[in-house]
Structure 1
Amino acid sequence: MLFSGQGSPLPGHRNGPGIHDYALVHTVASGRGLFRWRDAEHRLEAGDTFVIFPGELFFYEADGQEPWTYEWVAFRGYAVLPMLAAAGLDPSSPVLAGRGCGDASRLYGRLREALAGGSSAALSDLEAGGWLRLLLCELARLQPERARPQARSSDAARRQVDQAVRWLQTHYAEPVSIQDLARRLGYHRTHLSKLFRAFTGLSPMQYLGQLRMSRAKDLLATDLSVEQIASSCGYADPLYFSRHFRRSFGLSPTAYRQGLE
């Protein structure tokens, strides 16, 4: 969890074009606005939700006559894409055309309270993560049945992807290949790769890389050496690990650690 808030932009207020390294979910409470994503423009109003996915170019703008108000939450981590996919959101379908906000506003409020309160940052983050899951569940519940890509006929495919995600989350510190993953789960590698990308927007190996890098950032806040962290994240060669970390975050592991102090 990173942050959550609510806003009332001025008429014509713009955000972007830009790119975030985290997921950002907005739910429109009133008014109107424009969300531009990839090659499409979405005219949004009260009850609609839109998502900015990490690493993707976005643009959004409040209506000039009836500017929107909205609530938002930002979060990052290796579970981001599967969580959003479970709610019916992926990079090819980043908008929920709402039928009202349901209980979403209350859940946004509880989420903000969790982030702001408490004497323990770890407990606050844990509570906020719970409210986030309830919020995504509520947003998914509000969708028309036809808008849910995971419904009915694709339930089996969803379970297959969930199996793969759980396996990667458990075995990320081990040597992993797509052939090995497919063989262990009993699927053809091409079939598994296609399903995985459809539900998460990433290939299994791209997801594994993000998972390992997210874990590496956590471990850099500990006293473990860079070599120990590399090994704990599935990299036998510390130099290769350092190069991959720099490509992902623009800093070496050592420089990142120094920035935490």
Structure 2
Amino acid sequence: MTALPSHGKKRTLLLLSSIRKFRQWNTYVLRRHPVPAPMLCFVVEGKGTLYVNDAACPLEPRRLYYIPPGTTAKASSDNEAGEYYVLIARTIALSRCKGSWGVSEASEATCLPLHSGLVGVRDTERVLSRIEELYETAKSGTASTRPDPDLLLQSLIEYVMRDLSEQAAEREAEQQAGQEAGRASDGGIDPCVVYMHRHYTEKMSRETLADIAGLTPNAFCRSFKRTIGLSPTDYLNKVRIDRAKERLSPDSSVKEVAASVGYGSEYYFSRIFKKTVGLSPTLFIKRERLRVAVASRCGFHDNLASMGVAPAAAVDCYKYPGMDDAEYNRRLQSQLGQLRLVKPDLIIADYFHHGLYDSLKQIAPCVVLKHHLDWRVTHTNIAGLVGREKEADSTFRELEERTTEASRRLRSSDRLGSVAVMQLLPTVIRLQGSVNHPLNELLYAELGLEPGAAVPRNKMREEWVADVSPDELPDPESDYLFVYTPGGRKEIGKGTGKWRGAVQTRLIPNWLSMSWTPQGRNAIIDEVIESFAGAR
């Protein structure tokens, strides 16, 4: 067992005194009375207010609260509906004398090293899972096949304390990083940045900048990179290229623009410009009139369409799971042939096509966009390549308004429930998580839907080998299950075994890809609203 902090030769251990589950707020915990022992309360559903020695603390769902021994506690609720667990621990003192250990009841004042009220643990779903296991174990008695309740309690306390300790360490690290950045700023980095913006047309050495910062050249470069995130050379190039983008036009000369932003060589300027922007200066000038093709698995043609640009061609050369080499090569040659036929001025490709860059650039100048988990970054980068920045900003505003209205409408629905999204692919089964993907962010962060109990928290997804029968599929533990199955595994819709618990199991198009584009996100919102409206 994990012991509480020891004093001298004494140690204090927590043992489970009782654990109870309540489904209404009209129980003893609502009445004012002194707490005899350390108490933990986990609210599953319902809201209210907890008073510890008359200090008020809001009670919220999926939150853990601590009430120290000796304090006076009471609670009030917004309504009688609710569900919560109350754990009461008893403490025993272990003392060592002459090589032997003695056991006695500890003082009432012995408590956990926690502040009263809300316990700021991050993964509250894991805490709830441990509490539910502890409750079922304690309720079933002392069967030999179940773990010891005291060990489960110790494991729970250890997890909470470790999580709080990690959070404290992270805050301390962030504070130290901020202090280091502050010291770097105080050392002259900010004046150097100002100098670069004012004198970017001039030749500039690191020795000159180091003198301004009052540092040695090597120390200056390290401090600048740590503070700004770029080396001094890369940052100066960024400043110059940003100014060049403002000056390049059909009426301007590339050589003149290069000289006006500090580059003596037109060739060197063009090389840096293409490396930074993705286009040569000549193509950048004509970017609003280019014939653009896309090679994308993520629906770049929809991104362009939302900006008023009709792509000359849209191909997808990704080798999908289950596609053999012969089939893929036939598909690839067909897609490349389509690109050659339309003779585009520019090909915009996603990171899935990085390996085909050499083949694509033989057809037309090609830009392969870096992968980013935020779809807005990708959309903005595409807009920058075709001169549609204003259109992209307008799309963001319209979609934000649509999403806000859809979230309000869903919250007012009396059929709202937990949601899970699953992919049934030829080789794997994937259960989408709650973060790190545009679809996850749309459903759970922007629309405010509740993830099902089995939905992975703080990760993109979980996956399993697909060679299983429908009855062996992982239980989604949700009210609404949305399933993408390119192979047409229609048996999922029959709801066998574990799947019958869902209010609605619905086959969907590829929301994973659709979530990267404005049109796709609008279509997902429509289908989510329709699913809740049509649930019975």
TM-score range, shorter chain: 0.3 to 0.5
Larger radius of gyration: 2
TM-score by length of 1: 0.41
